[in-house]
Structure 1
Amino acid sequence: MSSSPTTSFPQPFWPQLLRVALLGTRQSGEPVPAVFDTATSSPEDREKQLLLAAGTLALMRRAGYQPPVAAPTPAPAPPDPVPPLGPLGKACLLRMLEDGQHTEMLPEYLEQVAAAGRRVPDTLLHLLLHHAASSSETAAVLAPVAGTRGRWLAALNPAWHTLLAAPSASDVLNLEPWETGTLPTRRTWLRARLEQDADAARALLLATLPTEPAKAQEAFLEILADCLHPDTEPVLETLLRARGQEVRRQAAALLVQLPGATLVERLWARAAPLLTVKRGLLGLGKITLEVTLPTTWDKSWLADGIEEKNDQYAYYSGTGNRATPLGPSAIRLGNILALLPPSRWTTHLDVSADDLLAAALASEWAVPMLPCWATSTLLHQDTDFAAAFLKLWLHQRPTLQKNHLDRNIDWAALTELLPAATRQQLLLKPMLLRVRRQEPRWTDDLLQLPTPWPHELTTEVLQSLSAKLTNSATLERFHTDLYQLSYFISQHLAPAIAPADATLVETTLLALPEVHSTFQNSIHTMLETLRFRAELDASLIEATS
């Protein structure tokens, strides 16, 4: 048996074991190593004990056993000068973190806590860190409210290290994660490198991007979208010929956002002859659009970001049950319109955005023109066209629905593109009239509105909702619409409602007599959410106990 074990344990026992074995159990007065409990063994069993100890120690050595090492006691957490939340704030956080209630409000609440100059109480930091480890939204707002004790606690748990520890300069300069790491590791490293030296990180990415697998190209193009620069154009042009269709789509969408990109001019050369405007006598009256569909596709189109078959724009054209899928030429027209800045058309055709969209709606090619111009509006962040789309939605809703355009266009995203003041100016008066007149599909229109609603509109909707919930005739007729509206208010409007409207909701709905059981849960949820939101607001100004 070797006397030079490979591990630090059971090395201290080997010399003692060898001495007892060489001298003999009778001659040696040294005890047999206490590898196991020998309290009940008699002196006559020393030979048996020696053999068992030798066998046990040899097996432990072969298994690579390492003795437990006591972790060093960490230094105490440094004091934190930022005051924690008081008892009410602690109770609210416990409901979100421990009971799982209203967790969708947590990121916004943590931002408000930081803005109020407060932090999360020490006794809740472990719950907060555990939640942030699985919630990117919470992790993004964690640092300001965790305080010095939160950073101290995160450093003690490997699962929490990355939540509060920003990559050091040496970590970012180390290329090993980029060259050999998994895709998530490479994404994280690239984002950190971009924050420290955007030019160097972009140069590194552009050097490897054409040779990356398609999945990696898609992931890195998402990051590149946040740091576009003219020097990215040559590589993006190369990716227009990539094997992956999604990669080609992403590359084309990024290229057309670059100022002076040649792709825009190549697309415009194909697009300009396709649309012309016909005006009334003496140039007065409504305009009409005359559309010429693109010619047969060939491979040269691919270099301009136009796919032969592109299911991204495979909309349905026609009304009602007669709607049919678009043909390849119409899809290619949509592909071109979705990439080009929509303002090029208003300048070229000498029309306003409002008139252009109205003429498109009246055309037999409303689909794909309107959905693809909506895509282009979002891609190029064109607020003039977003406002024109919103006005079209307010005044032409039946026609849009008849042509399936209410589903093919992301109206909510277009609305969010507008400043809050513009949205209220455009929406308030038409929506008030619809609610007061109870026009067809008024509840559908309300579901499209951004929150929070103006106070006047909130008042009108609540009064209308209250009246219908207590009227058995309207309850029967508008049952589905009212259920959708009450659920929407409880889930989306209540978390963002103004304090003045919160009181209005409480007094209006609490005054209702017993209503249909279908609405009880929605109303209860709405009121409970409003009360909890009021507690969150109060906790921000509560004194620390």
Structure 2
Amino acid sequence: MRSTVKTRDATARATAGATAGATRETGTRGPETAGPLDPVGAPTPRSLPWEELVKTALLGTDRRANPQTASAGGSAPGALLAAAAVRTVRRRAGLRPAAPAAPFPPPARADDRPPLPRAARNRLAQLLAVRAAGGADRRGTAPDLTELLPQWLATALQQGYAAPHELLPALLDAARARTDLRPAALAFAGPRALWLAQLNPAWRFALRGAPGGAAGSPSPDDAEGVARLWDEGLFAERAALLGALRERDPARARELLASTWRTERAEDRLLFLDSLRAGLSEADEPFLDEALADRSRNVRSTAAELLSSLPGSALAGRMAERAASCVSLALSGEPRITVEAPHECDAGMERDGVTAKPPANRGERSWWFGQLLEAAPLATWPGRLGGRTPEELVALPVDEGWRSELHGAWCRAAVRQQDAGWSRALLGAPGSPVAEGPGAVSLAERARLLGALPTGERADWVAGFIAAHGLSDSFQLLATCAAPWTGPLGAAVVDALTTARRAGGYPWSYSGIMGLAERCLDPAEATRLAALTRPEPPVLDPPANSTTAYWTDAFERLTGTLRLREAMHAELTRAPV
């Protein structure tokens, strides 16, 4: 009896291992049909359905004994193990063709882009192999190759190269695992990736993410096909179609959306409405004005936000009138802004997107006041407040308790309307104090305001901020700057890192900054950083908590990454020999 139990346990473990291996190779399957029959009409052990083998292994051959698990001259456990081994090999080898076999799919569209240079192709294979292996270890001095793939793809797209066919599966797997890679990866992969995605369910995201990529989806120029897909397609297919149309013909996309608007679900209406942000113009106002009466509060709020982004819209005019009644100049004494917040939120305000109920710990009047000013065109204020410039208006004193509310609402309006002049005034000087709470002095608000400035001016402002305040509060601000960083910004970051090293700080306190520097610092800074990788001269009595070795490793990693980025760029841009 004991030997039977041991045999049953060993059989169960072996079959469970084979099950796991087969599942890893082929995924979960439904029941399989039995194979060839023995002379008495029963399936042979090696052709038993997989589920039957698993059941027999789990229960034990002594409890599930039958002629199907016995073989001539052998034991039942041995026959079961042999059957599991054969079935595992068959499952790993592939599927038997259906009867009748399906016809071959049509070939993929041709990709006329030039092939990658050999060195760049090898580099891409290396980056994809590291990602498939689980990424690099963040400790040590070796560069993190997984974080360099987005930059590699961006440069390859700029150069107009086609993806190597043999690397398309790994590229699609990478895009499946990282949604931030998908736009660039699919654009680089080209039409063959969409062709592959029709054959592998794991890559179906490519059909949803690429305009016109779904199987059988029409070209934007195919009016009949577009109408059919819009009426019959899945939500993801319709969203991709609407996005593609919006880029090419905004009016046609809006008309298509209006044709079924009243029959769409509320959550779908909200997502479709958000697609109108691309190419938003005065022509969209009638449609958005109708959406203000939508039965969904979220849809109404989004429509109001989009309308307030159009300074010439009727809603913007109504909000300007309401906001102007709340803000004025003092009639006596020194110039000062006085605030009289609204006393109620009427039906007209709610229709125009004002949310009546404030969040917890927020007063009603200040909540309504902020929403009104946020939606009012910024051009309202110079005329309303004595013809002053934005800089002069921001500098004016405000009634006690209302300065943060007023400036915070102006900040949100400047971000919504992408007004560089007001953003510049609200940001102030880079060296101005950093404070907590709402208003123009918070780091979060400053980061959003920086997005409205030109790229070069944005980098200069952040460089000035780092020079004045160091790196501790600069991560959000650096994240708004385009890569590669400009010379002044890169120099400010390196100087601040050097100062932190000399002050005895730990490099992992700046891990986020170091990660950004690896991706965004100009590779030309590698020469300067190389000097920082050399250990400093020894001191007679070093402190017990010396961080010199840690900083040396961190700078070695940063320098190595910059040189690798430089090599990658050269491989993609060097003229073919």
Q: What TM-score do the two structures reach when normalised by structure 2?
A: 0.68
The answer as to 2:412 corresponding to 1:412 is: no
Aligned-partner Cα distance in 1 for 2:551–2:295: 52
What is the CA distance between 1:332 and its match in structure 2? 0.6
Aligned-partner Cα distance in 1 for 2:397–2:550: 42
Aligned-partner Cα distance in 2 for 1:216–1:273: 37
The answer as to 2:189 corresponding to 1:146 is: yes
Aligned-partner Cα distance in 1 for 2:449–2:127: 35
Q: Deviations over 1:282-311 (max 9, x none)?
A: xxxx74211111122232321232221243
Compared CA separation, residues 403 and 206, structure 1 to 2 (3 A): closer
Bigger mean CA offset, 228-237 vs 327-336? 228-237
Q: Which has the higher contact order (CA 8 A, sep 6+)?
A: 1
Of 143, 160, 185 in structure 1, the residue corresponding to residue 237 of structure 2 is 185
Aligned-partner Cα distance in 1 for 2:172–2:347: 53
Q: Are the counterparts in 1 of residues 373 and 410 from structure 2 also a CA contact under 8 Å?
A: yes
Q: Deviations over 1:360-393 (max 9, x none)?
A: 678521232122211111111101011112225x
- Matching of residues 158-197 of structure 1 within 5 Å: 159=203, 162=207, 166=213, 167-169=217-219, 170=222, 173-195=225-247, 197=249
What is the CA distance between 1:415 and its match in structure 2? 0.9
The answer as to 2:477 corresponding to 1:443 is: no
The answer as to 2:373 corresponding to 1:337 is: yes
What is the CA distance between 1:357 and its match in structure 2? 1.9
Compared CA separation, residues 94 and 257, structure 1 to 2 (3 A): same
Q: Are the counterparts in 2 of residues 428 and 454 from structure 1 also a CA contact under 8 Å?
A: no
What is the CA distance between 1:190 and its match in structure 2? 2.0
Compared CA separation, residues 518 and 333, structure 1 to 2 (3 A): farther
- Matching of residues 344-383 of structure 1 within 5 Å: 344-349=380-385, 350-359=387-396, 363-383=400-420
Helix, strand or coil: the match of 2:532?
A: helix
The answer as to 2:292 corresponding to 1:249 is: no
Q: Are the counterparts in 1 of residues 370 and 405 from structure 2 also a CA contact under 8 Å?
A: yes
Q: Are the counterparts in 2 of residues 377 and 386 from structure 1 also a CA contact under 8 Å?
A: yes
The residue number in structure 2 matching 1:268 is: 320
Aligned-partner Cα distance in 2 for 1:417–1:495: 23
Q: Deviations over 1:21-46 (max 9, x none)?
A: xxxxxxxxxxxxxx9356xx5xxxxx
What is the CA distance between 1:354 and its match in structure 2? 1.4
What is the CA distance between 1:128 and its match in structure 2? 1.0
Aligned-partner Cα distance in 2 for 1:216–1:111: 32
Of 347, 351, 363 in structure 2, the residue corresponding to residue 299 of structure 1 is 347
Q: Are the counterparts in 2 of residues 489 and 526 from structure 1 also a CA contact under 8 Å?
A: no
The residue number in structure 2 matching 1:217 is: 269
- Matching of residues 311-322 of structure 1 within 5 Å: 311=359
What is the CA distance between 1:489 and its match in structure 2? 3.0
The residue number in structure 2 matching 1:535 is: 567
Aligned-partner Cα distance in 1 for 2:289–2:407: 27
Compared CA separation, residues 85 and 202, structure 1 to 2 (3 A): same
The residue number in structure 2 matching 1:465 is: 497
Aligned-partner Cα distance in 1 for 2:240–2:515: 33
What is the CA distance between 1:351 and its match in structure 2? 1.4
Helix, strand or coil: the match of 2:428?
A: helix
Aligned-partner Cα distance in 2 for 1:408–1:468: 21
Helix, strand or coil: the match of 1:342?
A: coil
Aligned-partner Cα distance in 2 for 1:146–1:310: 48
Which amino acid in structure 2 is aligned with residue 222 of structure 1? D
Compared CA separation, residues 185 and 251, structure 1 to 2 (3 A): same
What is the CA distance between 1:271 and its match in structure 2? 1.6
Of 278, 281, 284 in structure 2, the residue corresponding to residue 226 of structure 1 is 278
Aligned-partner Cα distance in 1 for 2:476–2:443: 16
Aligned-partner Cα distance in 1 for 2:111–2:291: 53
Q: Are the counterparts in 1 of residues 123 and 568 from structure 2 also a CA contact under 8 Å?
A: no
Aligned-partner Cα distance in 1 for 2:362–2:190: 57
Q: Are the counterparts in 2 of residues 172 and 193 from structure 1 also a CA contact under 8 Å?
A: no
What is the CA distance between 1:522 and its match in structure 2? 5.0
The answer as to 2:521 corresponding to 1:497 is: yes
The answer as to 2:472 corresponding to 1:422 is: no
Compared CA separation, residues 403 and 178, structure 1 to 2 (3 A): closer
The residue number in structure 1 matching 2:122 is: 90
Structure with the bigger percentage of helix: 1
Q: Are the counterparts in 1 of residues 266 and 296 from structure 2 also a CA contact under 8 Å?
A: yes
Compared CA separation, residues 420 and 210, structure 1 to 2 (3 A): same
The residue number in structure 1 matching 2:32 is: none
The answer as to 2:108 corresponding to 1:69 is: no
Compared CA separation, residues 239 and 446, structure 1 to 2 (3 A): closer
The residue number in structure 2 matching 1:26 is: none
- Matching of residues 118-133 of structure 1 within 5 Å: 118-133=161-176
The residue number in structure 2 matching 1:17 is: none
What is the CA distance between 1:219 and its match in structure 2? 0.4
Q: Deviations over 1:304-324 (max 9, x none)?
A: 32221243xx7xxxxxxxxxx
Query: Over aligned residues, Cα RMSD in angstroms?
Result: 4.0
Aligned-residue sequence identity (percent) comes to 24
What is the CA distance between 1:193 and its match in structure 2? 3.8
Compared CA separation, residues 389 and 93, structure 1 to 2 (3 A): farther
Compared CA separation, residues 183 and 505, structure 1 to 2 (3 A): same
The answer as to 2:336 corresponding to 1:288 is: yes
Bigger mean CA offset, 326-335 vs 177-186? 177-186
Q: Deviations over 1:156-204 (max 9, x none)?
A: 5463572666443348734444334443233123223435543333123
The answer as to 2:36 corresponding to 1:36 is: yes
The residue number in structure 1 matching 2:49 is: none
Aligned-partner Cα distance in 2 for 1:209–1:74: 36
Aligned-partner Cα distance in 2 for 1:114–1:454: 22
The residue number in structure 2 matching 1:21 is: none
Aligned-partner Cα distance in 2 for 1:198–1:346: 34
What is the CA distance between 1:353 and its match in structure 2? 1.1
Helix, strand or coil: the match of 1:448?
A: helix
For structure 1, the residue ranges without an aligned partner over 5 or more in a row are 1-34, 42-47, 53-64, 315-324
Q: Are the counterparts in 2 of residues 391 and 426 from structure 1 also a CA contact under 8 Å?
A: no
Q: Deviations over 1:412-453 (max 9, x none)?
A: 121122112323554555654x2xxxx6x6632475244454
Helix, strand or coil: the match of 1:242?
A: coil
The residue number in structure 2 matching 1:58 is: none
Aligned-partner Cα distance in 2 for 1:69–1:172: 32
The structure with the larger Rg is: 1
The residue number in structure 2 matching 1:515 is: 547
Aligned-partner Cα distance in 2 for 1:494–1:108: 11
Helix, strand or coil: the match of 1:462?
A: helix
Which amino acid in structure 2 is aligned with residue 226 of structure 1? A
